[in-house]
Structure 1
Amino acid sequence: MGTSITFKRPDGKDANGYLANAARGNAPGVVVVQEWWGLSENIKGLCDRFALAGFDALAPDLYAGVLVPYHDTDAANKQMTSLDFMDATTQTVRGAAQFLAKNGAKVGLTGFCLGGAVTIIGATKVPELAAGVVFYGIPPEQAAKPADVKIPLQAHFANTDDWCTPQLVDGFEKAMKQAGKSFEVFRYDAQHAFVNEQRVSVHDRAAAELAWGRATEFFRKHLG
């Protein structure tokens, strides 16, 4: 349904991504950020689904063409740890947001795993954004302080998650509330990456569909 495109970062460099357009011409935009595997078919499929829901969706390729197989967690971890999160967020993700906002559309940001952490960083550093939806990802506080979040956030976390643990989620929720931020959080009796239907071992359709409905409703509220 979508297509591969090249767009400009604020620094003038080219970045690549997958774009799926809604049927209407004046649709709001959603930047969709990958998991630590790269720009997978699952992420492209989510862009297609956002387009069907009425949003122009663009997933930037933060790994510049590298796609890690689902079984190779060592390679995925190596790719993620070598990623410059600040450059990825303030240049590649911001460039994607600017691309979607070029006709005056409101733009949201969402991401999964690695992309969830990028979404929170983006909420503090990308001025083009109007709202964000986080899926099971939290960055270190030195990367993005809750007090610096500038947009309404919604977040979805799994109760069985050894990366974004329930304790980490509780701490982030507490910090967001203490900072007086617009934040709603949902927890699911599921495993990390429960939205990824390509990963049968962790996918939870009921939880994924519930989260999807909440996310699209949230974006319609804040993006139009």
Structure 2
Amino acid sequence: MATSDLKKILIQREDIASFSYSFLVGKDDAPGIVVIQEWWGVDFEIKNHAVKISQLAPGYKALIPDLYRGKVGLDAAEAQHLMDGLDWPGAVKDIQASVNWLKANGLPKVGVTGYCMGGALTIASSVLVSGIDAGVAFYGVPPPQLADPAEIKVPIQAHFGELDNIVGFSDIKAAKALEEKLKVSGTPYEVHVYPGVTHAFMNTSPEGSARRKGMGMVDDNEAAADLAWSRFQSWMNRYLSV
């Protein structure tokens, strides 16, 4: 299965008349997972992740909501501009609509995962979105005005790189602060920190690796990504099995 297998669909939010383009891949009878984009938008790497998720045993149906409505950042400056302009509460509503769509189409269990900006939105959704059964967040914590991780309502797993230098968002201090919040949430949780790797360590495709190196991330991250995928699979299998 390749990214060309992604099917473009339309999902309507209940609060507005417009539609959100989304991308769908995977088995029809499998549990659903909403896959939330990095700051780049719905580009090759988030599609790679969705296809990978759909192929993990026992199989999942992965749905990517396009939070930027078709826009994609071609460099870091443009991606930063797009993320700065994001309506974060609106993005949470897009995720709610995606969860609702999966459940309305016969999927009794739905998880949420995301990377960077999408990791922060995964945690926020685990507080604010109804119908989620589990979440896995990669290197991102939401701003406190959007969501308080101490109020998370579903089992959550989080992954961070030890050398991540995005202060207050995904660095080691942010990871430890998140863990302290999760301790008081009363929900099952895991926080994993991977030695010797920086931000976006899950991006191991040739294009993703080249982009990371162009941004100064020269760590060898494949072993960390493989371990994180294994932990992701175990977590989702535990909480999304029907």
The TM-score range, normalised by the shorter chain, is over 0.9
Match of 1:188 among 171, 183, 194: 194
* Contact 1:147/1:181 (8 A) holds in 2: no
Which residue does the alignment assign to 1:10? 14
* Pairing of 1:14-163 with structure 2 (within 5 A): 14-22=19-27, 25-53=28-56, 54-69=59-74, 72-89=75-92, 91-102=93-104, 103-163=106-166
Tell me how far 1:142 sits from its aligned partner.
Answer: 2.1
Q: Secondary structure at the match of 2:41?
A: coil
Conserved in 2, the CA contact under 8 Å of 1:29 and 1:106?
yes
CA 1:104 to 1:52, structure 2 compared with 1: closer, same or farther past 3 Å?
Answer: closer
Matched, 1:169 2:175: yes
Q: Does structure 2 conserve the Cα–Cα contact (< 8 Å) formed by 1:108 and 1:219?
A: yes
In the TM superposition, what whole-angstrom CA distance separates every residue of 1:72-108 from its partner, at most 9, and x where no partner exists? 212111110110111111x211111111111142000
Amino acid at match of 2:96: R
| Cα distance, 1:34 vs structure 2 | 0.4
Quote the Cα distance in structure 2 between the aligned partners of 1:142 and 1:65: 27
SS at match of 1:155: strand
Matched-pair identity in %: 37
Gaps in structure 2 of 5+ consecutive residues: none
2:200 and 2:150 map into 1 onto residues whose CA distance is 27
Return the alpha-carbon distance in structure 1 between the equivalents of residues 18 and 234 of structure 2: 34
Q: TM-score if structure 2 supplies the norm length? A: 0.87
Count of residues paired in the alignment: 219
Unaligned runs of 5+ in 1: none
CA contact (8 A) 1:133 1:155 kept: yes
The CA RMSD over aligned residues, in Å, is 1.3
Cα offset for 1:148?
1.6
